[in-house]
Structure 1
């Protein structure tokens, strides 16, 4: 089918489902923050619940990647969304009473969130044909960025007329929409054929070895590990993927951590107001929105190198915090970082959907999310002690250097020019 992807009813259903999951994901921390303000939840309890959600996410991502490749991607989205929808009221029930109940429910919600991510990625490749996936991925990432603006503001507005319990139930309804809206994709890909030759004679029975034994079946956990390992082997077939993932992980570990830890400190100590923090994060989101619009229409010939150059732009964020500049320079740096991250994300997702073997796509995508998202909390935990030990200037300088150097090093790996193992097209 040709034409704008947003005129495709099946993609619109998928887009609405991913947007609903994004709204539910981003709204939950703000709803729980309101619970801290009205003293129905302590700050320590908030940390426990959010950490439990992150743990559920990281546990579910690799498992769901295997299941989405083994079974229906649409089915994994359905059950993951339903699990999050059913578990969210558990967070509401524990509010003001048992942090343990809230944490257990948060693990399930995080697992639903984590299970959705690789399944949505693979389902996009089934619903949208190759020629329009760039537009589709840009539309999805645009929605993700909009939710980062809408979820906090919408939560604050609804809090005027609804209590925290009702807001939590609202996020459960969003998860229900995320489960039910996406359309079915292609049938699950068949398993790889066995290497045995049909013409080979059957082996003779061993007469002295006793009675024949029943065929063995590997335990479920062992099978999951083996099938996830197959996805890792597929990832190793694409040097550009490993190089890009390493660069992304390095930028998230350093640049994202600088945003999470150093930006609030600099906003308070250098500029004397939290308004710089809020404005910088808003500028980042607006830059990302502009990047999603740009990359939907612009397809450079060396798209991999362009994407890595965009990723390197994140280095300007910690660099702006290092230098004694006007707040407007900080805002501009974060807008450029947001623009660059979408110049990377959209070609990255599109290339993964195009280059990876379809029956292994969810597993490779789960490896992507596991490493990139998994390193984010590690970086946040590492940066604060590093600032205490070495001072924030050397740490921010190191973060900026890594953000610039890691994508440049990745660009030296074969295949990164076009994010493909295929030979690059000759220049026009």
Structure 2
């Protein structure tokens, strides 16, 4: 009998690191992520320099997060109905142009903060199109290797996001913010040029002629019928509640509770980046494992890490940041892999942006709740709060491995040969063909 491995197409068995298409894509993603890291340190410092106001910095930071709440879900619906290739190209090139307008906005005498906040909001809205288009493209271009690709891209973003701010801060000592904004703009041009070489599908995932409202209704109906959809969203919300206040809580613990200085605060913050990067390395070894058990164990690991905040030392806060971020990365990558594996291709974008909006809605609630708990029960109380929600996130993904896996009555389709199959099975069947450069 021939083994399953032997039956797989050669492209499916080949390491992604030997795939020239993937290597170009990875390099482009890393360069763009590095530019994003530089941007993330330059933008708040530019606002502070122009306004001398921490409130202004917070307002601009809030503007960068608002697109996930609106128009986030609508972006997902559009991503399912538009050409992924065109959407990625226009999104990257538009961001390249928008980032160059920030220095000009910062030079205005009035309305500086409002202009920069508006540009930041627009840039992050456009970025949602690029990221969502990339997400829906990965299964179609890389097929069954999508899990390894997701992990590799996560490692690109985490490593570049750690290096970007550090190098950006150093470069600000020898050059201007305007030059660094130009550098970030060029990284968008670079990733757009890479997209032209990837064979990204030009056909949308959802080719239905239905109105957008009807497509939204169909996506919601599919999700409601999928087993465990409510538990899936509940687990994601619980993990988001744990993750949202981590950075603020760690800095508060180091500076206000234990009275340590900026060196210790920097070490604790760096522990978060180290945890994220280590998490991506672990994900590479978990790619072939069933997704629900990995998510459950990652959430349990987050519970153990959250409990470390109760250790009466800044070292405990650093250890908590390392463990929670490591396990949070494993959870996030497994969540994305599960969505790509089981959600029909015509609803991928809508599902992912809905999940992101759900996470965004949970975050401010979490920050407010942790602030209240700190006032009443101190740091140990906050540790208990985060531990409990981590355990909730783990318990909600208990089950028989069928989360979001539709039955034949939920999403049956008919193939050209007359064979009935589920939408997720149809996606899996087309994956080997898509891995060779699209479905044209």
- Range class of TM-score, shorter chain: 0.7 to 0.9
Going from structure 1 to structure 2, the CA distance change for 1:106 and 1:249 (only over 3 Å counts) comes to same
CA distance in 2, matches of 1:19, 1:110: 18
Going from structure 1 to structure 2, the CA distance change for 1:375 and 1:166 (only over 3 Å counts) comes to farther
| Structure 1: gaps (5+ residues) | 195-222, 424-428
**Equivalent position of 1:126 in the other structure:** 140
Q: How much does 1:106 deviate?
A: 1.3
CA distance in 1, matches of 2:96, 2:287: 38
Contact 1:40 1:96 in 2 (8 A): no
Q: How much does 1:374 deviate?
A: 4.1
Q: How much does 1:161 deviate?
A: 2.0
Equivalent position to 1:166, from 170, 179, 193: 179
CA distance in 1, matches of 2:400, 2:385: 23
Moved more, 366-375 or 120-129: 366-375
CA distance in 2, matches of 1:377, 1:360: 27
Q: Does 1:156 align with 2:161?
A: no
Contact 2:239 2:390 in 1 (8 A): yes
**Equivalent position of 2:60 in the other structure:** 49
For residue 185 of structure 1, give the secondary structure of its aligned residue in structure 2.
coil
**Equivalent position of 2:371 in the other structure:** 384
Q: How much does 1:366 deviate?
A: 1.4
Moved more, 330-339 or 97-106: 330-339
Matches within 5 A, 1:4-403: 4-36=15-47, 38-39=49-50, 42-97=53-108, 98-130=112-144, 132-182=145-195, 183-186=198-201, 187-189=203-205, 191-192=207-208, 223-253=211-241, 255-273=242-260, 274-299=262-287, 301-324=289-312, 326-388=313-375, 391-403=378-390
Contact 1:85 1:109 in 2 (8 A): no
Contact 1:123 1:185 in 2 (8 A): yes
CA distance in 1, matches of 2:88, 2:125: 12
Q: How much does 1:72 deviate?
A: 1.0
CA distance in 1, matches of 2:331, 2:45: 34
Going from structure 1 to structure 2, the CA distance change for 1:232 and 1:92 (only over 3 Å counts) comes to farther
CA RMSD of aligned residues (A): 2.8
CA distance in 2, matches of 1:365, 1:10: 24
Going from structure 1 to structure 2, the CA distance change for 1:126 and 1:414 (only over 3 Å counts) comes to closer
Q: How much does 1:37 deviate?
A: 5.6
Going from structure 1 to structure 2, the CA distance change for 1:300 and 1:178 (only over 3 Å counts) comes to closer
The CA deviation string for residues 175-207 of structure 1, in whole angstroms up to 9 with x for no partner, is 23333322242332453589xxxxxxxxxxxxx
Going from structure 1 to structure 2, the CA distance change for 1:394 and 1:89 (only over 3 Å counts) comes to same
For residue 244 of structure 2, give the secondary structure of its aligned residue in structure 1.
helix
Number of residue pairs the alignment of both structures matches: 390
| Structure 2: gaps (5+ residues) | 1-10, 409-440
The CA deviation string for residues 337-379 of structure 1, in whole angstroms up to 9 with x for no partner, is 2331232223322221121111221111111222224433443
Moved more, 337-346 or 232-241: 232-241
Contact 2:84 2:133 in 1 (8 A): yes
Q: TM-score, normalized by length of structure 1? A: 0.82
CA distance in 2, matches of 1:381, 1:169: 37
Going from structure 1 to structure 2, the CA distance change for 1:80 and 1:61 (only over 3 Å counts) comes to farther
The CA deviation string for residues 140-183 of structure 1, in whole angstroms up to 9 with x for no partner, is 11112112211111211211222112222222222233333222
Going from structure 1 to structure 2, the CA distance change for 1:411 and 1:341 (only over 3 Å counts) comes to same
